[in-house]
Amino acid sequence: MKILHLLYESKGDYFGVGGVGTRAYEIYGRLKDRHEITLLCRKYPGAKDGEIEGLRHIFAGAESKNFTKALLSYACNAAVFVAKYGDEFDVIIEEFSPAVPTFLHCFTKRPVVLQVQGHTGGLYFRKYNPAYASTLYFLEKLRPLFYDNFIFISKETVNRFLPKRGPGGRIEIIPNGISPALLNAVPEEDNYILYFGRIDIYAKGLDTLVEAYKDFHGSFPGIRLVIAGDGREMEEFKDMLVKLPDDLRGGIELPGWVSGDKKIEIIRRALFVVLPSRHEVQPIAVLEELACGKAIVISDIPELSYVTENRAGVSFTTGNAAALARAMKDLASGKDLREMGQRGRALVKDITWDKTALRFEAFLEKVIRKE
């Protein structure tokens, strides 16, 4: 197959790469030897067309450090690229984001697959000004109506986007995966709690986490909070931490983004992991942490309920710092840590990137054959 994938984040991106980019590189790294793959990515300062990790990259848009400008410029230029060159490909995959309004159905007759990795809904109004939030909210509802082929990451996201969709079209749920190497990590319990993910203060609930750590630190002053990750709100987050008392700020570490063996090491040695998100779909980090045998504290949003349903962690009321602090104190007291970790590892042991890539490949072939 000749595959074109519109990927609005990529390796080396000035704004960082999250779950959307990680998923693409994991899948295509396993398919690149038998298919011709082109990634059409958002241009960032210094980006140059060429191969990255054996995959052809073409960058579109303006080299801007303004996030909104970079996204809109990418959307316009990506649509122009598809209009000019789309017929050279067998299938086109578009990563869905209301902030990237490409409307590809207007520019190509090639089969287009919309890959949906998240749903934000009313949370836009809590994060952005009313005018921008209204635009994103409207586009999130409108754009999927023009597509017939969908890949979703979870059943919950299908229900949010297409609750009343009748028969017709092709809808496939293809989850994220893990590397088998994570299953071989030997869990230990060092004196730190770990958050691993994108630095997005509101969506990821990092404001709740910092507030909860104030309470937790009073009871367990020797246990650090390690916040591993990066993102465009990093400087804002650092400014938040600067305002904390010295003893509290000294207990919080920011190692930045880690990957490979360093990532496995920082996960396997954590006392436990915490994910206080207000909004998620199926975070890769959670699957990886479960694979490393770690108990997890999660917010009680539906997309993360599988953790508590399988008794691999505990939940707290989303946005409630006092409830999060209580959950952290319970686990820090040693409550079922190893047992939760073992159940979590058993839960994800068969969800590998190899299987995800094969399901992804099979669905694209099905779309091309119009089955």
Distances (CA, A) of 100 to 52, 67, 115, 118, 158: 23, 11, 13, 14, 20
Nearest to 208 by CA among 323, 294, 303, 308: 323
pLDDT of res. 168? 55
Q: How many CB atoms lie within 10 A of CB 345?
A: 20
| φ, ψ (nearest 5 deg) of residue 171 | -125, 125
Q: Which residues of the chain have pLDDT under 70?
A: 163-168
pLDDT of res. 166? 46
- Cβ–Cβ under 8 Å, residues 301 and 219: no
* HEC letters along 308-364: HHCCCEEEECCCCHHHHHHHHHHHHCCCCHHHHHHHHHHHHCCCEHHHHHHHHHHHH
pLDDT of res. 146? 86
| φ, ψ (nearest 5 deg) of residue 297 | -95, 125
Q: Do 2-177+352-369 and 180-348 fold alike per CATH? A: yes
pLDDT of res. 164? 55
- Give residue limits of the domains in the chain: 2-177+352-369, 180-348
CATH class of the domain whose range is 2-177+352-369: alpha beta
pLDDT of res. 174? 95
Q: Is it true that domain 180-348 has CATH number 3.40.50.2000?
A: yes
pLDDT of res. 64? 84
pLDDT of res. 162? 72
pTM of the model: 0.85
DSSP secondary structure of 250-315: TTEE------HHHHHHHHHTSSEEEE--SS-S--HHHHHHHHTT--EEEE--GGGHHHHHTTSEEE
Q: What is the pLDDT of residues 128-137, one digit of tens each?
A: 888 888 988 8
pLDDT of res. 269? 96
Q: Give CA–CA dist 228/12, Å, rounded.
A: 18
